[in-house]
Structure 1
Amino acid sequence: MVARTVVLLRHGRTAYNAALRLQGQIDIPLDEVGRWQAEEGASALIASHRAAKVVSSDLTRAADTAGAYARLLDVPVEPDVRLRERSFGDWEGLTGEEIAAGWPEQHAQWRRGADPDGVGAEAKAVVAERMVTAVREHAEALDGDACLVVVSHGAAISLAVTGLLGLDASTWRGVAGVHNVHWSHLHRSAPGAVPDWRLVAHNVGAGYPLDRWQAGPHADLEPEPKSA
């Protein structure tokens, strides 16, 4: 049997997200906004998807986001290193401007969707293969009515969706990224159908306007009055 529903959930915000730094596999924790997003997103996700199994990248930002959801179900989180973010080699921790200044040709390649040469970045096809293999393996361990929630990272999720739809992750760029604590929902196709998974929804979240979501839990608070 194979789970009928797979949800791919991105982790909450980190300080690197807020500063527009490329994280890759650096183990950055959630910031205050990210912890709030994880809790709010968990409440929204459980209203439509109650997972029989929750698996997560072993990186802290993903594992803690997974924990916020799994606690509502009273189920464990199973770590899986294959669900990590794409490794970006020498570029990890840098901003786009820093990358463009230091590696202009490779940056242009990356912006076109190609794998950048000579910086130690993991190839997109490799990321898609490990992600798809992991998702399929975990899904196959569940019965046909079950839901699997997979907590991972932005680039890894886009590549996983591409791979699960039977597309070439090394060249096809038709899947946009998901925001922090937003998710993609895939449904198992009928036996023998190609591809064997269909994308039902993408970049779904808790329903906040994006600017409010990015601002965090204190966005609506009035400023303290100034003393005379």
Structure 2
Amino acid sequence: MTAGTVVLLRHGRTAYNATLRLQGQIDIPLDEVGRWQAEQGAVALSASHRAARVVSSDLERASDTAAAYADQVGVPVETDPRLRERSFGVWEGLTSEEIAERWPAEHGEWRRGGEPAGVGAETKADVAERMAGAVREHAEALSSDECLVVVSHGAAISLAITGLLELDATAWRGISGMHNVHWSHLHRSAPGAVPGWRLVAHNVGAGYPLDRWRAGPHADLEPEPKSA
């Protein structure tokens, strides 16, 4: 047996997200906006997908996002280090500009979709393999009418989808990045069908305008009234 539906949920915002720093596997917590996103996203996601099982990356930003959703549906959070973000080696914690200044050739290769050599970054193929393998394993514990929610990270989720669709993770770049606390869901294909999973929806959120979602609950985004 295997779950009929898998939902892949990205974690909420962190201070590194807000300052455009490459996080990788640095264990950084949610910031205030990220905690609000996790709460709002949990309510919205639980209205459409009620998981029988919730499995999260063991990094704090993901496991805390998972806990907000799990509280809504009344199941515990399990953690699995295979669901961590892609490791970016010595680039972790740096901005794109800082990386480009110190490693211009490798940065250029990365921006073109290639693999940056010599910086300790995990390959896309390796991430796709560990992510898709973990998702399949956790899904196999459920029945066809049940839903698995997996809470992970932006690059890792894109590569998980690529792997589950049985595409070339090294060369294929057809999945856009996800916003914080947005999700994708896949349905299990009919027995014997290729690929074994079908992407039904991608980068779905709680329904807020994106500028409000990024700014958080206390931002005043209404235009100032004009004077008479």
What TM-score comes out, normalization by structure 1 length? 0.96
CA distance in 1, matches of 2:88, 2:78: 25
CA distance in 1, matches of 2:203, 2:40: 15
CA distance in 2, matches of 1:118, 1:178: 27
Q: Do the aligned partners of 2:24 and 2:88 also contact (CA within 8 Å) in 1?
A: yes
The match for 1:225 is: none
The match for 1:226 is: none
The match for 1:91 is: 91
The match for 1:51 is: 51
CA distance in 2, matches of 1:43, 1:210: 17
- Where in structure 1 are there 5+ consecutive unaligned residues? 223-228
Q: 1:45-84 alignment to 2 at 5 Å?
A: 45-84=45-84
Q: Match for 2:74: what amino acid?
A: D
CA distance in 1, matches of 2:106, 2:113: 11
The match for 2:6 is: 6
Give the SS at the match of 2:177: coil
What TM-score comes out, normalization by structure 2 length? 0.96
Superposed CA deviations along residues 190-228 of structure 1, whole A, max 9, x for unmatched, are 000000100000000000111000000101388xxxxxx
Aligned length: 222
Q: Find out whether 1:121 has 2:127 as its counterpart.
A: no
Q: Find out whether 1:36 has 2:15 as its counterpart.
A: no
Q: Find out whether 1:112 has 2:104 as its counterpart.
A: no
Give the SS at the match of 1:174: coil
CA distance in 2, matches of 1:39, 1:63: 13
Q: Do the aligned partners of 2:124 and 2:170 also contact (CA within 8 Å) in 1?
A: yes
Q: Match for 1:159: what amino acid?
A: L
CA distance in 1, matches of 2:133, 2:185: 17
Give the SS at the match of 2:186: strand
Q: Match for 1:80: what amino acid?
A: D
CA distance in 2, matches of 1:217, 1:107: 35
Q: Supply the RMSD in Å over aligned alpha carbons.
A: 0.9
Q: Match for 2:123: what amino acid?
A: A
